[in-house]
Amino acid sequence: MKNVLIIGAGVAGRDVLKEILVSPDMGLKAVGFIDEDISKISQIIDGYKVLGFGKDLKKIISVEKIEEVIIAIPSAEGESIGRYVKICTDAKVAFKIVPRVREIIEGRAKLESVRKVRVEDLLGRPVVKADVKTLKDFFRNKKILITGAAGSIGSELTRQIAAYKPAGLILIDWWENGIFALKNEIDKLYPKNGFDFVIANIQDVSKIESIFERYKPNCVFHAAAYKHVPLMEEFPEEAIKNNIFGTLNLARTALKNEVDKFIIISTDKAANPVNVMGATKLVAEGIGKMLNSPRTRYISVRFGNVLDSYGSVVQIFRKQIEEGGPITITDKGMTRYFMTIPEAINLILKAAFLGKGGELFVLDMGKPVKIVRLAELMIRLSGYIPGKDIKIVYLGKRRGEKINETLFNKHEELTSTKEGKIFVSRNIGFDKNKLFRSIQKMKDIINNGRTNLLRKEINNLIPSLPLNAK
């Protein structure tokens, strides 16, 4: 049997203890708790003592011969979790965590869902419990359709919305393997869920129309998009077909079927875009703005870098760690704004609730994170000690690269909402007739095989896009 210490003597920690006690086949032996609440110290909970505070963790691990630590504080700040992780890695003790978002939504911690600590647990801001009831009410009796459901954003939207128990979930993606993996995960978490997993391409308008007619969704979260900037610079026609034509297909079909709300997941690269990908997302926002009506309300949500999304720096660092290092960083002082995927989704859901139609919501990205700190956290999460087991090497700033980024340009006007981390940005939008004429012209250009003219056409619509690719 493996000696286990539970961090957190609250509801989640007690749930974990109960599941350990009724699951002897898991080979876990609970030793006790630690907690930061002084009133709980020395308490006996279901026969197990609260042995001390977080600062006592190192000593308790040694004295009690702890082999694994389970962090069961769903509302904990990432900094606190990071301290526990450092002590565990220094002591060469395994550590896991109760997923913070799902357990707060569902109100109960399950031992089967305990997983390895991830970088988002250390950098993310916690979900506020007060939001849960509001969102449960919002999703009650609603059928929710998610495009790009197998992607980084779409899959987390699926996890969180599923926990709110909507009347139905229709999960669309063209990526067969991704949908297969998502279905296996969701079926395990929510047996007999009755959700629908659909292989479809948003560019196929007849298929999209048949899906809406069959499932009759009340609300759409549109997360399907091509997002990699260099690739979309090389293949602008694919960015346009997917991000613009696909969005228009979905948005028009939603209007035809009287969908209540249509939420467009956008990016900060749509603000004065200097690349094709950002330009296509700005046009997608414009489509929502132009089609907005009392019958179907279109809402755009824009945010920046998301931790551990496909192709992100987190995945690059993870691969470098797996290879034994070193981790390469351009400059020791480099910072970036990051938001964890669960936090981004939580704020997207709030924006969907707040939206009355026609707005562009901008998410507060928090404080900038030092890239070197991110690297050090990831090294510790892998069970190594930074600088000793895995080296960090600085390569020097590359051409055109910024040491520090800004979130918005000087022309952006932000208005606060009652949610402190969500702002409404001034959205000038497009002339409706000009926008749809331009989209039709892009279709003609692509159909005629003259893709070299696409950048010029986008530039006519969005002057900030350079005429020549860099």
Q: Could you give the residue numbers annotated as active site?
A: 269
Let me know if 213 is exposed, middle or buried by CB neighbors in 10 A (0-12, 13-18, 19+). exposed
Residue 337 tokens read as 């704004």
The CA distances from residue 381 to 72, 284, 315, in Å, are: 17, 38, 13
Q: Count of residues for the chain?
A: 470
Considering only the C-alpha atoms of the chain, give the largest distance between any 2 of them, rounded to a whole number of Å.
76
Whether the link from the prior residue into 217 is cis, omega within 30° of 0, is: no
DSSP annotation of 113 reads G
Per the DSSP assignment, residues forming a β-bridge with 29 are 3
**Three-state secondary structure call for residue 192:** coil
Rounded to 5 degrees, φ, ψ at 310 are: -60, 125
Residue 455 tokens read as 């950048």
DSSP annotation of 128 reads P
Q: Are 223 and 147 in contact (CB under 8 A)?
A: yes
Q: Are 127 and 150 in contact (CB under 8 A)?
A: no
Numbers of helices and strands, H then E, in the chain: 18, 22
How far is the C-alpha of 354 from the C-alpha of 347, rounded, in Å? Answer: 10
Strand order in the sheet with 168-173: 196-199, 168-173, 143-147, 219-222, 261-267, 297-303, 360-363, 422-425, 414-416
